Amino acid sequence: MEMKISNCFPTQKWCGGASLSRQVNVRFYPLPSQRLPPASGKMRQRRNFSLQNKKKQTKTINIERPPDVDLQLSDDIDSDTEKMSKQSLSNSNQEVPIEENVDTSTETKSSDESTYSSVDSNEEGQPSSVHLKDLIGMIRNAEKNIHLLNEARVHALEELQKVLGEKEDLHGKINILEMKLAETDARLRVASQEKIHVELLEDQLGKLKNELSSSRGSEENVLHVNNSVPLSRSDLVNSLSEQCDSLRKENMLLKQDLQSMKSELSLVKETDERILMLEKERSVLESSLSELESKLAASQEGVSELSALKLECKNLYEKVEHLQALLAKATKQADQAISVLQQNQELRKKVDRLEESLEEASIYKLSSEKLQQYNEQMQQKIKLLDERLQRSDEEIQSYVQLHQDSVKEFQDTLDNLKNETKKKALDEPVDEMPSEFWSRLLLMIEGWSMEKKISKDDAKLLRELVWKRDRRICDAYMSCKEKNDREILAAFLRFTSSPTRPGLHIIHIAAEMAPVAKVGGLGDVVAGLGKALQEKGHLVEIVLPKYDCMQYESIKDMKVLDVVVESYFDGRLYNNNIWTGTVEGLPVYFIEPQHPGKFFCRGQLYGEHDDFKRFSFFSRVALEFLLQAEKRPDIIHCHDWQTAFVAPLYWEIYVPKGLDSARICFTCHNFEYQGTAPASELTSCGLDAYHLNRPDRMQDNSANDRINPVKGAIVFSNIVTTVSPTYAQEVRSVQGGKGLHATINSHSKKFAGILNGIDTAAWNPASDNFLKVQYSASDIDGKIENKEALRRLLGLSSSDFRQPLVGCITRLVPQKGVHLIRHAVYRTLELGGQFVLLGSSPVPHIQREFEDIANHFQNHEHARLVLKYDEALSHLIYAASDMLIIPSIFEPCGLTQMIAMRYGSIPIARKTGGLNDSVFDVDDDSIPLQFRNGFTFATADEQGFNNALERAFNYYMNNYEIWKEFVQKDMSIDFSWDSSASQYEELYEKAVLRARAASRN
C-alpha cells in the first residue's frame, strides 16, 4: 500500500530564520532477522512450544484520536485495505491443511517419521521456537513503530491545529498588506492541504493496525489447529514460508508508509517555521506601518505649517518685488531729474556765455574791421600756443625717455655690482677653516682617485678647488659631512661638470594632468610639480594619452605633428599620432593610438574592462616616442600603476635600443590601486611574462599567476616616492602596504615620502574669480560676504552671520570615512551649526544612501548636500566655510586640508598619512605654537570625531577674536610646490650624479 504525497510548500527562503517551539523525535525499532532457522526437535516439543505461545497475549495499542480532528478516508484507500485483509485471511486459511485419515498403519507412520526426520530431526512438521520468536518479535516491533508513528501524528496534529488557529488570526491583518503578503495566503492554503494528507495517512495507519490484529488472530487460530490436528510437515513448512513472505511484504509497506510519514512530518515542521517567520514579518510590518502613520501625521502637520509659511513668503516676495520696482522707478526718475538738472546747468552756462559774447559783439559791432583784426590776432595767438604746447610735449617726452634710460642704466649697474660681488664672494678663498680641514679634503680626494671612484680629470679639478680653498667645495662638504662617502662624492662631482650646464631634462609620463584630464590628486601633482620644477630652471615635458573627454579649451596651440610613431603591441605594429600643445605653460605631448580598440575614446579616463591593456599600450608608445624623437632626458618620472609599466619596459627593451640616458622615478599616489592582472597579459606590450613573473620582479605577492605593475615599478625604478612622509611609513606595515610591504622594505634605500603641494596661483582667495568677494590674510572680512553668498545660493538661513558653517568637499568612498561624514551632518546640526557637502560616489549603494539624506534635508534651513562635481561651487565652499572636515580612514596626502587653510577654513582631520604631516592640533602641547593649525583626532569613530568637532565649535563660539587670528595664521602658511619640488630636485640630481659616477668607472 503506497501513497504518493506531492510537496506543495513554498521555497525555504520564507522560513530560514524560524524555529519550532516543539520537536518530535521518532525512533523506529529494527525488525528481527527474517531468516528461517533450521528445523529441529520432535513433534512433542513443538506441541509444548505451541501451548506456551498460546498463553502469551500480545498487547494492543489503543490510539485515541483528538476529538476535534475529523479524519476521512477515500474510497480507494478503503477498498485497497479491504482487499489486502481478505487476501491475508485466505492465505492463512490455505496454509493450514487438516489431515482426514488419522488412523494409519504403523508401517506408514514409521515411514512418515523417517521421512520427516530426514527434513528436520528436531521438529515434527512444526517451525522451531526461534522462528516463532522472530515472527512475534517482528509483529511487536511493528506495533511499537505504529505506536511511535501515532504519537508523532498526534503531535503533528496538535501543531497543525495551532497553525490553523494562527492562520485565522492573521487573515484579518494580512488583507491590509495584500501586495506584500499574497504569497502567505498561498502557503497557508498549502498547509491546510497538507493537513488533509496527514489525516489520510492517520486513517491508513489505523487500517494497518487492524490488519496486524487480524494477522495475530489468524496466527493464534493456526496454532490452535496445529495443537488439535496434526498436519503434514511439508505443507506446514510451506504455509509458514508463505506467511513469512506475506509479513515481509507488509513490513516493506510499513517502511514505505513510515518514510512518507517522515516526509509529511518534515513538511509540517517547515510549515510551522514559515508561520513563525510570517508572524515576525507581520509584527515588523505592523510596527513599520504604525511608525509610518505617525511620521505621516507629523509630516502632514509640517506640510500645513510649511504651506502657510510658503504663502507668507510668497506675499513677502511680492511686496519686496513691488518695493524693488518702486525703488527702481524712483531711481530712474531721480537719474532723469539729475540729468535734466545737469542739462539745465549746462544751458545756463551757455546762455551766460552767449550774453557775454553779445555784450562783446555789441562793443565791436560798430567796427567790423576791428572785429576782423581781432579775430586774426586771436588765430595767431592760438597758433603760437599750439606750437608752444607741441614743443613742451616733445621736451617732456625727451625728459621721460632720459629718466627711463637712466633708471635702466642704474638697474644694470646694480645687477652687475651684485653679480660681481657674488662672484667675488665665491672666488675669495675661505681663510677661517684650519689647514687640517683642507688636508683632510685633499686626502679624501686622493683616496677616491686611487680607488678609481673618480676619474683623473675630476680628481685634478677637485684638487685645484681645494688648493684654492674654494668656498663652494667647503659649503658642499659642510652640508653633507654627516652623510656617507657616496653622497659626499656625488656632491663634489657637481663641481666637475660644466658651470654653464643647464638644468635637468625631466619628462613626466602620466595618465592625468590638471586641468585637461583630472580625476583625482594625481592630475594636480603632475601639473603643480611640473610648473615648480620649470620655475627652478629645469626643462620639463609631459606625455599624456589623448582622451576624447579632455578639456580641450585648456590646451593652447594644439596641433598634430606630421609624423607617425609605430609601436609594438599584441604581436604587430600600430601607428600613433602625436599632438602637441601647452598646458599651464608646460609643453605636453598627447598620444593618439590608431588601434582598433579605440583605447582612449571611451568617454572616461578609467574604469574600463581592458584598462591593463590600454595603459600598458600607452606606456610602450610613450617610450617609443622618446626613442624616435631622439630625446635624452635625465629623469623619466612615471606615476601610479597606469604608467608603472614604463620602468620594466625602459630597462628590458629600450636601454638596449639606445634610450639609456635617464634615471627612472616612480611615484605611487595610493597603494590601494595596484592594477594586478593575469601574467599572460603582460606579453601584449612585449615584456617577457615568464622572465618577469618571479617573486623578486613583478609577480604579485598574493598570487603566483598574477602580475603587479606597482611592484614591478618599485623593483625597476631608481627612485621610488609616495606623497607624504607618514604614508611612506604606513605602507611599510602589513595593513598599509596592501600586500607590498615586504617589497617596499626590501627597496627602502630608494624609497621616500615627499608631501605634495598645491597650485597657489589657482587656489588664491585674493584673485579667485569664482568668489563673490576676494580677500586675503590681511583682510578676512570677505569670508563673511562669501558665506552669505553661499547661503543665498543654497537656500540656507542667513539670520545669524556668526552661526558656524561646516563644509565637506570629497569623493564619497569608504577611504574618506563616509560613516563619519554621515554622522557629521547630524552632529553639526545638534551643535547649532550649518553643514554643506559637495561630492559624489562611484559606489552605487553609498550614492543612494546620501541621496536619501539629501532628500531628507532638501528643505532644511541649516543643511544642504550637493551630490555632484562643481568646480565653481567648491571654491565658494572653501571661502565660505568656517571649518572643513576630512575624516579619512587613510589618506596618502590629501590636498583638501591645504586648500582649506589657504582660504581660511580650519581643518578638522584624522591623524593619518598626509593629514598627519600637514594638520597639527591647536591643543597639542608637543607641537610648537606657530605650527598648530587645526583640530585632529586619532581613532576613526564617532567619539573621536565628536571631540574634535566640539572643541572647534567651542573655540569659534567663545573665542571669536582668537579664532580670527587663527584663520589669518592658517592663510599665511606656505603650501606651495616650491619646498616639495626642491626635495624632488635633490633626489633627481643625486640619481643623475650616481649614474655619471658609475659610467666613469
Higher-confidence position of 116 and 728: 728
Residue 903 in domain: yes
Q: In 428-470, which ranges are continuous DSSP H helix? A: 435-450, 456-467
Categorize the per-residue pLDDT at 220 as very low, low, confident or very high, splitting at 50, 70 and 90: low
Chain segment 790-813, per-residue pLDDT in tens: 999 999 999 888 899 999 999 999
Chain segment 494-509, per-residue pLDDT in tens: 777 644 445 799 999 9
Greatest Cα pair distance in the chain: 205
Chain segment 920-957, per-residue pLDDT in tens: 999 999 999 989 999 999 999 999 999 999 999 999 99
Host domain of residue 488 = 452-497
Name beta bridge partners: 257: none
The answer to whether 211 and 250 are in contact (CB under 8 A) is yes
pLDDT of 113 strictly over 80: no
Q: What gap in Å lies between CA 354 and CA 704, rounded to an integer?
A: 105
Q: What gap in Å lies between CA 533 and CA 233, rounded to an integer?
A: 119
Residue 907 in domain: yes
Q: What gap in Å lies between CA 916 and CA 911, rounded to an integer?
A: 5
The pair phi, psi for residue 902, each rounded to 5°, is -60, -30
Q: What gap in Å lies between CA 462 and CA 968, rounded to an integer?
A: 50
The answer to whether 203 and 73 are in contact (CB under 8 A) is yes
pLDDT of 90 strictly over 60: no
Categorise residue 19: left if φ over 0, alpha if ψ from -120 to 50, beta otherwise: beta
Categorize the per-residue pLDDT at 175 as very low, low, confident or very high, splitting at 50, 70 and 90: low
Percent of the chain with pLDDT over 90: 43
User: In the prediction, which pLDDT does 359 show?
Assistant: 65
pLDDT of 23 strictly over 60: no
Residues 485 and 540 in one domain: no
Residue 548 in domain: yes
Rounded (to 5) percent helix, strand, coil in the chain: 60, 10, 30
pLDDT of 248 strictly over 80: no
Q: Which of 216, 276, 200, 238 is nearest to 88 (CA)?
A: 216
pLDDT of 271 strictly over 60: yes
pLDDT of 463 strictly over 50: yes
Residues 604 and 724 in one domain: yes
User: In the prediction, which pLDDT does 91 show?
Assistant: 45
Q: In 598-756, which ranges are continuous DSSP H helix? A: 611-628, 646-649, 655-657, 689-692, 709-716, 725-730, 734-737, 741-746
Residue 825 in domain: yes
Q: Which residues of 199-218 are buried (b: 16+ CB within 10 A; e: fewer)?
A: bbbbbbbbbbbebbeebbeb
- Cell numbers 476521512 correspond to what residue? 72
Residue 78 in domain: no
Q: What gap in Å lies between CA 113 and CA 782, rounded to an integer?
A: 132
Q: What gap in Å lies between CA 797 and CA 760, rounded to an integer?
A: 32
Residues 611 and 749 in one domain: yes
Residues 703 and 800 in one domain: no
Residue 98 in domain: no
Residues 740 and 645 in one domain: yes
Mean of pLDDT values over 680-699? 94
Strand positions, DSSP E, 819-960: 834-838, 863-866, 883-886, 906-910, 935-937
Mean of pLDDT values over 961-979? 93
Q: What gap in Å lies between CA 488 and CA 143, rounded to an integer?
A: 102
User: In the prediction, which pLDDT does 236 show?
Assistant: 58
Q: Judging by beta carbons within 10 Å of its beta carbon (0-12, 13-18, 19+), is residue 682 exposed, middle or buried?
A: buried
User: What is the average pLDDT value for the chain, to the nearest integer?
Assistant: 78
User: In the prediction, which pLDDT does 35 show?
Assistant: 41
Residues 659 and 622 in one domain: yes
The pairing of strands 572-583 and 586-593 is antiparallel
Chain segment 862-896, per-residue pLDDT in tens: 999 999 989 899 999 999 999 999 999 999 999 99
pLDDT of 905 strictly over 70: yes
Mean of pLDDT values over 74-94? 43
pTM of the model: 0.54
pLDDT of 16 strictly over 90: no
Relative orientation angle of helices 435-450 and 485-493, to the nearest 10 degrees: 90
pLDDT of 720 strictly over 80: yes
Chain segment 542-596, per-residue pLDDT in tens: 999 999 999 999 999 898 988 899 999 999 999 999 999 889 888 899 999 999 9
Residues 580 and 550 in one domain: yes
Residues 677 and 811 in one domain: no
**Per-range mean pLDDT, top range of 604-608, 906-910, 922-926:** 906-910
Q: Which of 729, 756, 871 is nearest to 521 (CA)?
A: 756
| Cβ-Cβ contacts under 8 Å for 660 (sequence gap 6 or more) | 654
Least-confidence region, from 127-136, 716-725, 932-941: 127-136
Mean of pLDDT values over 39-54? 43
- How many domains does one find in the chain? 3
User: In the prediction, which pLDDT does 361 show?
Assistant: 57
Strand order in the sheet with 751-753: 556-569, 572-583, 586-593, 539-545, 505-509, 635-639, 663-668, 719-722, 751-753
Chain segment 740-794, per-residue pLDDT in tens: 999 999 999 999 999 999 989 889 999 999 999 999 999 999 999 999 999 999 9
| Cβ-Cβ contacts under 8 Å for 545 (sequence gap 6 or more) | 511, 517, 590, 591, 599, 600, 618
Residues 469 and 614 in one domain: no
pLDDT of 71 strictly over 90: no
User: In the prediction, which pLDDT does 777 show?
Assistant: 93
CA geometry: angle at 431 spanning 426 and 436, to 5°? 120
User: In the prediction, which pLDDT does 135 show?
Assistant: 79
pLDDT of 915 strictly over 80: yes
The CATH number of whichever domain residue 966 belongs to comes to 3.40.50.2000
Q: In 734-795, which ranges are continuous DSSP H helix? A: 734-737, 741-746, 782-794
pLDDT of 600 strictly over 90: yes
Residue 517 in domain: yes
Categorize the per-residue pLDDT at 256 as very low, low, confident or very high, splitting at 50, 70 and 90: confident
Residue 273 in domain: no
Chain segment 516-557, per-residue pLDDT in tens: 999 888 999 999 999 999 888 888 899 999 999 999 999 998
Residues 570 and 718 in one domain: yes
Residues 727 and 825 in one domain: no
Residues 491 and 577 in one domain: no
Higher-confidence position of 4 and 352: 352
Rg (CA), the chain: 51
Mean of pLDDT values over 115-139? 57
User: In the prediction, which pLDDT does 957 show?
Assistant: 93
pLDDT of 343 strictly over 60: yes
